[in-house]
């Protein structure tokens, strides 16, 4: 991460090495549990579905990036989720973006609110990470996921471990492989899956997720 002057609010990026790890649920839950105001930036495109929101129309972040639009347009592109939590929707596939543009985006958003980014699965953009205060890998204690992580260049500052019963790998195996501490654990819980399937995560964030991620926030 680059050294720069402190921002009024921090920028946290959630990403995963393997699809289906629970990254969007963790990013959305983090946005709902941390001190407000918060803006949740959706780079992967599934936050509205996970939160049970109507798919936002309009240009979204993709439009802002493609049009080289000014920073003051960003607020108009975001939509409310709940009190003092807003979503900046993706709006379409994202074109490659320069580190400077990521910096403008994140510095602008972090002036008014804590920023949580769902960066999705795979190698996170290096320019994005350069302008991030905290980079969190969301992973299960899964050999295949850790194998993918090892093949990537990026390394996180911390791990959110999505815990399922019956895994052979343990928390310290994950920490050793990733080279970063587990900062929160989230149990795989049918209550979470049902809340997502019913579009009710916003209103009924399961208490366990709230407690665990509240600590990480
Ligand atoms: N803690 C949890 N307990 C139970 N189910 C969960 C939990 N977290 C996520 N899920 C379920 O797992 C599935 C994948 O979750 P999610 O969409 O957050 O993963 P993802 O890593 O963002 O996936 P993708 O790589 O496709 O973006 C969803 O059906 C979701 O409801
Ligand atoms: Mg996702």
Tens-place pLDDT, residues 17-50: 999 999 999 999 999 998 899 999 999 999 999 9
pLDDT at 215: 74
| Pocket of ligand 1 contains residue 70 by CB under 6 Å | no
Counting atoms of ligand 1 from 1, which one is nearest the CA of 187?
Answer: 1
Dist. CA 196 → ligand 1 center (Å): 8
Query: Tens digit of pLDDT for each residue in 134-181?
Result: 999 999 999 999 999 999 999 999 999 999 999 999 999 999 999 999
- Tell me which residue has its CA closest to atom 28 in ligand 1: 193
| Domain locations along the chain | 11-216
pLDDT at 68: 85
The number of the ligand nearest the C-alpha atom of 19 reads 1
H, E, C per residue of the chain: CCCCCCCCCCEEEEEECCCCCCHHHHHHHHHHHCCCCEEEEECCCCHHHHHCCCCCCCCHHHHHHHCCCCHHHHHHHCEEEECCEEEECCCCCCCCCCHHHHHHHHHHHHHHCEEEEEEEECCCCHHHHHCCCEEEEEEECCHHHHHHHHHCCCCCCEEEEEECCCCCCCHHHHHHHHCCCEEEEEECCHHHHHHHHCCCCCCCCCHHHHHHHHHHC
For position 1, what pLDDT does the model report?
52
Q: What is the band of 106 on the pLDDT scale with cuts at 50, 70, 90?
A: very high
Which CATH number, 3.40.50.300, 3.90.1150.170, 1.10.10.60, 3.30.230.70, labels domain 11-216? 3.40.50.300
């Amino acid at each position: 991460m680059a050294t720069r002057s402190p921002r009024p609010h921090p920028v946290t990026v959630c990403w995963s090495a393997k699809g289906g790890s629970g990254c969007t649920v963790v990013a959305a839950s983090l946005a709902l549990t941390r001190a407000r105001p918060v803006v949740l930036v959706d780079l992967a495109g599934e936050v509205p579905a996970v939160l049970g929101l109507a798919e936002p129309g309009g240009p979204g972040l993709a439009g802002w990036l493609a049009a080289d639009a000014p920073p003051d347009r960003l607020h108009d592109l975001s939509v409310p989720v709940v009190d003092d939590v807003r979503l900046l929707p993706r709006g379409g596939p994202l074109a490659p973006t320069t580190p400077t543009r990521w910096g403008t985006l994140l510095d602008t958003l972090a002036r008014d609110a804590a920023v949580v980014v769902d960066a999705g699965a795979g190698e996170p953009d290096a320019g994005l990470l350069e302008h991030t205060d905290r980079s969190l890998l969301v992973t299960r204690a899964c050999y295949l996921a850790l194998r993918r992580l090892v093949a990537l260049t990026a390394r996180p500052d911390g791990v959110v471990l999505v815990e399922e019963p019956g895994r052979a790998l343990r928390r310290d195996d994950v920490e050793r492989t990733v080279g970063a501490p587990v900062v929160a654990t989230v149990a795989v819980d049918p209550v979470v899956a049902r809340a997502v399937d019913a579009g009710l995560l916003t209103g009924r964030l399961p208490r366990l997720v709230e407690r665990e991620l509240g600590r990480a926030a």
